[in-house]
Structures are given as C-alpha cells and as structure tokens.
Amino acid sequence: MPDRPLPDRPLPDNPSADRPAPAGPAILLLGPTASGKSAVALALAADLPIEIISVDSALVYRGMDIGTAKPTPEEQAAVPHHLIDIIDPGDTYSAARFASDARVLIAGIRARGRLPLLVGGTMLYAKALIEGLHDLPLADPPVRARLDAQARELGWPAMHARLAALDPVTAARLAPGDSQRIQRALEIIEITGEPMSALLAAQRRASPADPGEFITLALEPSDRAVLHARIGERLQRMFASGFLDEVRRLRSRGDLHADLPSMRCVGYRQAWEYLEGQCNEATLRERAAAATRQLAKRQLTWLRSMPQREVIDCLSPDAARQVRERIVRLG
C-alpha cells in the first residue's frame, strides 16, 4: 500500500483543550492486553490536554472493532485518537511506517500545544520509535506466498523446526506457532542467504530517539492470575458482543485469507479456524484465551527489556492517578 498523508482529525470539544500542554517529552503508556491502558488514557483526558496515538498493530485495521477492543466512537469523539482505522485488513502496516507516522503526529500534536500520549501494547512499534530499526530487507511478496503455501502443507511448527536448523538463535526466541515472525525470519534467509540473528548482530540500530524524547510508563500486573481473569472476562464480552459475526463478515468478503497479518491477530486467527470447521466453539474459546494469555506474556517480556520504564501496577484502583502524577512530575 503506498504511503499516504495522515488525516488531521478535528478536535472534539474538551474543557482541557485551552490549557497549555505540559512541557517535556512525549509519553508512552504501554502494557499487556487487558491491563486497562485505554481506560487510563481516557481518564487522563479529563483534565490533561492530550491526544492519543495508538501503539497497536490491530487497531490500524478498519472493520476489526470487537476483537481488537477498539475504542468506541464515543470514546474517540471525547479525545482525539490517531492511527486507528487507517488501512484495510487486506493491506499491511509495518513498525517502520508506525515510527514514521507517529513522529509526524507527535510534531503536529505539539504544534497544537497539546501532549502526545502513545498508548498500546505492540512493543515492536514502541521499540521502533524509541530505538530505531535495523536495516533489514523489505518484504518480498512472492517469497512470502511460497512460505505460506509450505506452511499450509507442513504446519508452522515444522516451519519453526526448519528455522531452528537455519537460524537457531532466532528460532529459540520464537514460539512454534508464531507464524508471522517465523515467516519473516525465513523470508530474510531466502532473500539474503544470511540468518536474521547474524544480520542483527552486525548492524546498528538506525535513528534512535534522543535521550529524554520519550518517557515510558508501563502498566504491569502485580498478580498475573488477576490479569488472566481479566482476559477471560474480556473474551466473554467480546463473544457476547458479536465477535464471530464480525469475523464472518470479514471472511465473506472473499479477498481475505488466514495468512494475512490482519487475520493472524489474536482471536481472529482462532475464529477463522472455527469458521473453517477446524474446531468447535468450546475449543475456539479455549484457544483464543490461551493465545491471549501468551500474547500478554510476550508483552511483559518485551516490557522487562525496557529498563528505562516506570512501572505502575495496573491492578491498583488508583492506577490512573499514579500515571497522571508521573506525567505532571516528569513533564
């Protein structure tokens, strides 16, 4: 999909809009799924002149609302949101494009005298913005199509085993079912003839942010079991709200398939398998819950690799107040 200018969304009426934005760095509010990031962000908007930039690789897709826990139209009307509903599920969006788009948006938000608040759980996007990206080859559609065809025949665990033979360092940090990253690692090997781990070790990250340009606040659970309970409750609400009908509508388009990045999103992949008759609904719900818990685990692992972050317990009843105090203090 060709690059396009980002829309300049109109600002809603907001009593805080006339207040000067706090000086200082942009704020990254990160956390695992179901940690309450969106609720905290909306609470902050009540008395801080913020605009929200989504740091979520699923929220970029139009028509994928229920399964992504997308902010409602009313919530998006209450405070400006960016990088939501910007591409079709048949298209792709990358960490590099996110970093570029986010920087354009941050500059625009600052020019309006407001505070950029980047909210989400796609840690690769956050790292791309803070640290820059390695200079790896661009995606090669024919190579990806060939790998997808092989995966449909052999299964992703077998593709993971192939990767382990070619690039054991990369394979060791990927789950056997992490199809998107396994495909990317194999694609790089086919394009360059070199394992991705060797390329990364030989390269320096490009265009890292200046120290102090961002402050990272992390909503992390003091009790993983409570987070898992929240995940289960959210999945129940998702199914009750018509999630399967949403995936049916997407599937009925005829131009989407299970190997697209959009349909690999947690929940959507499992629902697609159910609609193809690969499992019953009880198994679908079990698989969706397990995949979401695994996503949360990976997100927390990413967060632990960010030593500069300040941690707030997402289970605390005053998490929003704690985040606000840190923003005011650090800004």
Q: What is the CA radius of gyration of the chain?
A: 20
The total of other beta-carbon atoms located within 10 Å of residue 3's CB is: 8
For position 9, what pLDDT does the model report?
Answer: 44
For position 209, what pLDDT does the model report?
Answer: 60
For position 331, what pLDDT does the model report?
Answer: 67
- Phi, psi angle pair for 117, to nearest 5°: -120, 110
How far is 292 from 268, CA to CA, in rounded Å? Answer: 11
pLDDT digits 0-9 by tens, 272-315: 999 999 999 999 999 999 999 999 999 999 999 888 899 999 99
pLDDT digits 0-9 by tens, 64-95: 999 999 999 999 999 999 999 999 999 988 88
Instruction: Collapse the DSSP code of 214 into the 3-class scheme (helix H, G, I; strand E, B; otherwise coil) and give the result.
Output: strand
For position 15, what pLDDT does the model report?
Answer: 41
Cα–Cα distances in angstroms (integers) from residue 200 to residues 42, 135, 277, in the given order: 38, 8, 40
The total of other beta-carbon atoms located within 10 Å of residue 205's CB is: 14
- Please tell me the total number of residues recorded for the chain in this structure: 331
For position 290, what pLDDT does the model report?
Answer: 96
For position 6, what pLDDT does the model report?
Answer: 46
Q: 204: exposed, middle or buried (C-beta count within 10 Å: 0-12, 13-18, 19+)?
A: exposed
pLDDT lower than 50: segments of the chain: 1-22
Asked whether the beta carbons of 131 and 305 are under 8 A apart, the reply is no
Instruction: Collapse the DSSP code of 21 into the 3-class scheme (helix H, G, I; strand E, B; otherwise coil) and give the result.
Output: coil
Write down the pTM of the prediction: 0.80
**First-last CA distance in the chain:** 37
Residue appearing with tokens 């209450």: 78
Instruction: Collapse the DSSP code of 276 into the 3-class scheme (helix H, G, I; strand E, B; otherwise coil) and give the result.
Output: coil
For position 1, what pLDDT does the model report?
Answer: 37
For position 96, what pLDDT does the model report?
Answer: 85
Asked whether the beta carbons of 32 and 69 are under 8 A apart, the reply is no
Fill in the amino acid letter for 305.
S
Q: Which two tokens stand for residue 96?
A: 């590099």
